[in-house]
Structure 1
Amino acid sequence: MKMKDIWIKLKSFFLECKRVLTVTKKPDKMEFTTIVKAAGLGMIIIGALGFLIHILRVMLFP
């Protein structure tokens, strides 16, 4: 690969990063709490499902 090709790819990568950073925004308090609640609920559901599978495995295959 030529040095010019590497430079062009690097420049386009940084331009794309700059574009993404200008489009994104910091979430407000309500949006943040909604995201935290949804993520927490998902973790609880997955943990409970794993615990249930573990209990069933222990009971069925001692």
Structure 2
Amino acid sequence: MNVQERVNKFVKDSKRVLKVSRKPDGQEYRELAKVTSIGVVIIGVIGFVIMLLGALIGL
């Protein structure tokens, strides 16, 4: 597959993705923000616990 064919395939695939995608409504956006926030908090807590254990052990 040469470069021109790859570019054409990429453009075709990109058009298809943009055609089926849509803007999320308000409720979907709030749910996504909530899930993302919970994930950030969980990762932060895990990092804090690791740092706390490292400080207690003396690393």
Q: CA deviation at 1:39?
A: 0.4
Shift of 1:43: 0.3
Structure 1 stretches of at least 4 aligned residues deviating more than 6 Å after TM superposition: none
Describe how 1:1-62 pairs up with structure 2 within 5 A.
5-61=2-58
CA distance in 2, matches of 1:56, 1:25: 45
Query: How large is the Cα RMSD of the aligned pairs?
Result: 1.6
- When normalised by structure 2's length, the TM-score is 0.88
- The structure with the larger Rg is 1
Aligned length: 59
Q: Distance in 2 between matches of 1:8 and 1:61?
A: 58
| Consecutive unaligned residues in structure 2, runs of 5 or more | none
SS at match of 1:18: helix
